[in-house]
Amino acid sequence: MPARSVSVLLVEDDLFQLEATADYLLLEGFNVIKAASATQALDHLREADGAVHIGVLDIDLPGEMDGIDLLARLKKEWPGLTIVYQLKPNLSLANVIDLTGIRSRSSGYVNQSTQAIFPDLRML
């Protein structure tokens, strides 16, 4: 599937990080839907009606629903959605696995300190 036909829902509360990551994904040819909160992400997914292929989400979201809660909700309501975590430098993947309890359901993660992507988004 060409990158342009792949839609990515990007969920990030830091507006600079949201825009920078969205710009990178756009340059790579992805269609990007931006959300600054978990609530906004859920609204976008409902509106997209299955047209989103990948969710890239910040685990450390503020508000009533953090990234861990959003992740659980996405896995329940959109089980076919590939999820990639964005981790802050102070939050390890092991902590996320412990917090979510869904070790085998994740697809990868993005570490914001290195911008390393595991697995590469183009391979999803």
For the chain, the three-class secondary structure string (H helix, E strand, C coil) is CCHHHCEEEEECCCHHHHHHHHHHHHHCCCEEEEECCHHHHHHHHHHHCCCCCEEEEECCCCCCCCHHHHHHHHHHHCCCCEEEEEECCCCCHHHHHHHHCCHHHCCEEEECCCCEEECCHHHC
For residue 3, CA distances in Å to 6, 20, 51, 53, 93 come to: 5, 18, 14, 11, 26
Structure token digits, residue 31? 């269609």
| The domain made up of 3-123 is a member of CATH 1.10.1050.10 | no
The pLDDT assigned to 28 comes to 85
Extents of the domains making up the chain: 3-123
How many CB atoms lie under 10 A from the CB of residue 17? 15
pTM: 0.73
Between CA 110 and CA 77 the distance in angstroms is 23
What are the per-10-residue average pLDDT scores of the chain (124 residues)?
Answer: 74 91 89 95 92 87 86 88 72 45 43 40 44
pLDDT at 82: 86
